[in-house]
Structure 1
Amino acid sequence: MKVIILGAGVIGVTTAWYLARQGHEVEVVDRQPAAAMETSFANAGQISPGYSAPWAGPGLPLQILKWMCSRNSPMIVRPRIDFAMFAWMRQVLRNCNARSYEINKARMLRVATYSRDCLDALRAETGISYDDRQRGLIQLFRTDREVAKAHRDMRVLRQHGVAHDLLDPDQIAAFEPGLAASRHLLRGGLRLPGDESGDAHMFTQRLAQKAEELGVIFHYETTVRALDASAEEILGVRTSAGRMTGDAYVVALGSYAPRLLRPLGLRLPVCPVKGYSLTLPVTDESRAPVSTVNDDTYKVAITRLGDRIRIGGTAELAGYNTRLSRDRRAGLEESFSELFGGGDLSQGVYWTGLRPCTPDGTPIIGGSKRFGNLWLNTGHGTLGWTMACGSGKLVSDMISGHQTEIPSLDLSLERYFQ
């Protein structure tokens, strides 16, 4: 079967890899000159199934009100008339209850833990390296309230067999010696030993090379303009390089998937949520992270990638605006400086990207009920790197007519219409 994949980020490339491994003829189309040049380029670097959780929870509405008064708020809403964003926000609020939170978190954990297992197998098969470390993640809590909230998440982790430990500040410093000088700021931490870290951009580009060795064709610097469709199937894709046709089509365009599918009458509840990162060189090993931590107060991730440190965070609702904000950088720098300090902030490379977020946190993975040969693999939010391999394997199995290795019916677009 000939499969055309739209998008060469980490989601599109992993999908291409698994499809090629199953014997399909695969072509990938992307507007950039190489793989992983947009959202996958400089994300937080965490592969964190244990940290997988929806933003929509019982306390979110009140928390947003408090953040509005905070100088370094982890969530920003830029005032603008955007009816799609308003509809998405209404759906988020409908998920801000305990029952929805537990259902959504359980789904996300299912996909994320499966994806980590797929990545482990891929790494063993290919020997691929990407500044990866398998040393766990620690979620840092600065307040007793954050520690209390962690107990709710721990119940779900126990139900799904996810290893975890609640640590006191001294135990945190034992795992992350660079935090020894700042442990007085901490009330506790949740350690997730099964979580990992690595450079998603490096991984994606190296996997794209391996996919090419399997025969995958990449059409870079090629803009996707529209899909041609009949009443029941996709007939082709119009691009800046001409029309392309295949037997099946996979939309892995992240935040831009709704724009492509809207003319076909498909409404994807995916909203672009802007995130920022800062990448800086390590200058003092004794004060740098060993692996990866999440500062729960600032909602900032701090990750070791080889001889670099990646600091990522902020959720900004600003449409498709990708301009860099000086204020957002200050928040990333403040979190890092208070906790670690073993990197040169003056040499930091500042970046922003758009995360494709669904209102319930779970990605949209599966076929389209309306078009029999259209498949969706988008909406992974902040967890695209965490869920990439599992999502690619799921879509590959679906297209190939194989039974998926984990339950997948509730991952499709149809869950929003039930």
Structure 2
Amino acid sequence: MTSIAIIGGGITGVTSAYALAKRGFSVTLFERHRYAAMETSFANGGQLSASNAEVWNYTGTILKGLKWMLKSDAPLLVNPKPSWHKLSWFAEFIAAIPHYERNTVQTARMAVAARAHLFAWAQEEGIDFDLKREGILHIYRDKQGFEHAGEVSKLLAQGGLPRRAVTPQEMKAIEPTLAGNYYGGYFTESDSTGDIHKFTNGLAAAAQRLGVRILYGQDVTSVSSNGTQAVVKVASQDGQPCVHTFDSLVICAGTASRELAAQLGDRVNVYPVKGYSITVNLNDAASQAGAPVVSLLDDETKLVTSRLGVDRFRVAGTAEFNGFNRDIRADRIRPLVAWVEQCFPKIDTRSVVPWAGLRPMMPNMMPRVGRGKAANVFYNTGHGHLGWTLSAVTADMVGDVVADAMRAQTPSPISVSGAKAVAA
């Protein structure tokens, strides 16, 4: 039986392990924490949002970024201190602007396909992850944002996702708890929300039942491949490296993927884009009644919400380009709390849990899925802000690519970018 190592126990690593185990491979997953989903997959916005498939490679994004650059509470914040990594990433980001429409359509297509896999897996394995299939309401405070959303909706429709414009009155009917005045909105009934941490841990347990060996507390120090055998070195308690060998290797290591890829002779220019979230504990009946059930995306503040069960309300967003800094900054959390108090005044915000995570983001906003230069090296990483949304379909994609490669044993380097195979 072909042995495969997976590096990373977040949503992409666990879904990949599950997909490969279902295909009959012998899978070992390495995760440096004691549990699955302890970093970027811990407390994200919760949205399974095909309607948020618009890539960021848009001239308007750059103009907003320049405007916000000196505001510490801005939705997008860039540390002006230069680094080669940051400069190269932004250069490639700008170079991808001409592909904005194509990549948005392709992302929407993948997001729609991902639903079928994720819901089927959850049902088959009996995973409870606070799923709510109540749709996502995008809210707009001005005409310009609303009209741009109309253009985006045309691209989403090309990707197989219908969504409809709604008036302020219809918005109130869709989510009665939402306070404030708005120009209009777009509602995607087919979108949903859920707890990524609960799902990932539930699927990890299911993968173990299928025979996947998950090694927690394993800090991978290096990886290598000669094309037929992959080597994974892990730091041990006594300081001596522990060496494991496998037939193949899949990198699902989030923001660490760039460094691991370099060791394997590949360039995967993932940048750690920090996002923040708060989980508001709804400890009283008034707060529970005053919190929304329908998920929201506020275009002006770039914040998203999800209702997780009866007594939790998640608000997340912002993008911070500040390297591998994981600090939870009070000046970045404060606007999230203020937004809740403004839009949902009946929620008591005395019990709020802040969090920050590093999104692994590629410059073109498209995940890196498929083959590396070595015939037995594969990638499923770089999903950015849509890791939760796309994870099930990219896991299935990498499962097919690995299966095909193992059958054919073809040495030519092939990669999958989005939904089609292209030359690397």
TM above 0.5, one fold? yes
Are 2:51 and 1:50 equivalent residues in the alignment? yes
Measured against aligned partners, the alpha-carbon deviations of 1:249-304 in whole angstroms (never above 9, x if no partner) come to 11000111001122333221211100111001124233211131011100011111
Q: Secondary structure of 2:324's match?
A: coil
Match for 1:327 among 324, 331, 339? 331
Decide which moves more: 356-365 or 125-134: 125-134
Written as runs of structure 1 = structure 2, the 5 A alignment for 1:130-149 is 130-149=129-148
Which residue number in structure 2 is paired with residue 117 of structure 1?
A: 116
Q: Give the aligned partner of residue 87 of structure 1.
A: 88
How far apart are 1:402 and its partner, in Å? 8.7
TM-score, length-scaled by structure 1: 0.93
Does residue 77 (structure 1) correspond to residue 74 (structure 2)? The answer is no
Shift of the alpha carbon at 1:320? 0.5
Equivalent-residue separation in structure 2 for 1:237 and 1:82 (angstroms): 29
Query: Number of residue pairs matched?
Result: 406
1:410 aligns with 2:417: yes
For 2:146 and 2:420, locate their aligned partners in 1 and report how far apart those are by CA, in whole Å.
Answer: 34
How big is the shift at 1:337?
A: 1.8
The Cα offsets for residues 114-149 of structure 1, whole Å up to 9 and x where unpaired, read as 111111221232232101111110111011111011
Instruction: Map Cα deviations across residues 357-416 of structure 1 (whole Å, 9 max, x no partner).
Output: 111111000111x1000010000001110011111111111111299xxxx84339996x
Letter in 2 for 1:324: I
2:367 to 363, 368, 372: 363
Determine if contact 1:227/1:234 at 8 Å carries over to the other structure. no
For 1:155 and 1:234, locate their aligned partners in 2 and report how far apart those are by CA, in whole Å.
Answer: 46
The separation in 1 between residues aligned to 2:125 and 2:216, in whole angstroms, is 24
1:290 to 264, 289, 293: 293
Q: Matched residues in 1 for 2:308 and 2:318: separation?
A: 20
Q: Distance in 2 between matches of 1:24 and 1:326?
A: 46
Are the equivalent residues in 1 in contact too, given 2:69–2:78 (CA < 8 A)?
no
Q: Could you list the runs of 5+ residues in structure 1 that have no partner in the other structure?
A: none
2:16 & 2:288 partners in 1: Cα distance? 37
**Residues 71 and 4 from structure 1, CA distance in 2 versus in 1: closer, same or farther, beyond 3 angstroms?**
closer
Tell me, yes or no, if the aligned pair for 1:53 and 1:361 is still in contact at 8 Å. Answer: no
Superposition CA RMSD, Å: 2.0
- The alpha-carbon deviation at position 155 of structure 1 amounts to 0.9
Q: Counterparts of 1:296-375 in structure 2 under 5 Å? A: 296-306=299-309, 307-368=311-372, 370-375=373-378
In structure 1, give the amino acid aligned to 2:74.
S
1:236 equivalent in alignment to 2:231? yes
| Local SS of the residue matching 2:24 | coil
Q: Is the 8 A contact 1:288 1:341 kept in 2?
A: no
1:160 CA displacement: 2.6
Superposed displacement of residue 340, structure 1: 1.4
Q: Give 3-state SS (helix, strand or coil) of 1:245's partner.
A: strand
For 2:9 and 2:211, locate their aligned partners in 1 and report how far apart those are by CA, in whole Å: 15
Aligned to 1:4: 5
Contact 2:10 2:37 in 1 (8 A): yes
Identity of aligned residues (%): 34
Mapped to 1, the partners of 2:341 and 2:264 lie a distance apart of: 48
TM-score (norm 2): 0.91
Report which stretch shifted further, 250-259 or 118-127: 118-127
One-letter amino acid of the counterpart of residue 383, structure 2: H
Cα distance in structure 1, aligned partners of 2:72 and 2:244: 49
Q: Which residue of 2 aligns with 1:249?
A: 249
Instruction: State the partner residue of 1:173.
Output: 172
Distance 2:263 2:402 in 1: 24
Distance 2:163 2:81 in 1: 41
Q: Which residue of 1 aligns with 2:409?
A: none
Amino acid of the structure 2 residue aligned with 1:235: A
- 1:280 is the counterpart of 2:280: yes
Q: Which amino acid aligns with 1:64?
A: G
Whether the 8 Å CA contact 1:104–1:362 is kept in 2: the answer is yes
Question: Any gaps of 5 or more consecutive residues in structure 2?
Answer: 237-241, 407-414
Deviates more, 1:282-291 or 1:372-381: 282-291
Q: Please report how far the alpha carbon of residue 233 of structure 1 lies from its aligned counterpart in structure 2 after TM superposition.
A: 4.8
Instruction: Say whether 1:393 aligns with 2:400.
Output: no
Task: Give the 3-state SS of the residue equivalent to 1:72 in structure 2.
Answer: coil
Which sits farther off after the overlay, 156-165 or 391-400?
Answer: 156-165
Compared CA separation, residues 219 and 141, structure 1 to 2 (3 A): same
One-letter identity of the residue aligned with 1:227? V
Q: Which moved more, 1:343-352 or 1:383-392?
A: 343-352
Describe the shift of the 1:81–1:265 C-alpha distance in structure 2 as closer, same or farther (beyond 3 A): farther
Select 1:200's aligned residue among 196, 202, 211.
196
Deviations 1:213-237 (A, max 9, x none): 111111000001111233x455311
Q: Is the 8 A contact 1:281 1:343 kept in 2?
A: no
Partners in 1 of 2:383 and 2:417 — Cα distance? 15
Q: Aligned with 2:278: secondary structure?
A: strand
* Distance (Å, rounded) in 1 between the aligned partners of 2:31 and 2:70: 40
**1:161 Cα offset (Å):** 2.7
Q: Secondary structure at the match of 1:322?
A: coil
Cα distance change of structure 1 residues 290 and 58 upon mapping to structure 2, 3 Å threshold: same
Q: 1:234 to 1:314 in 2, by over 3 A?
A: farther
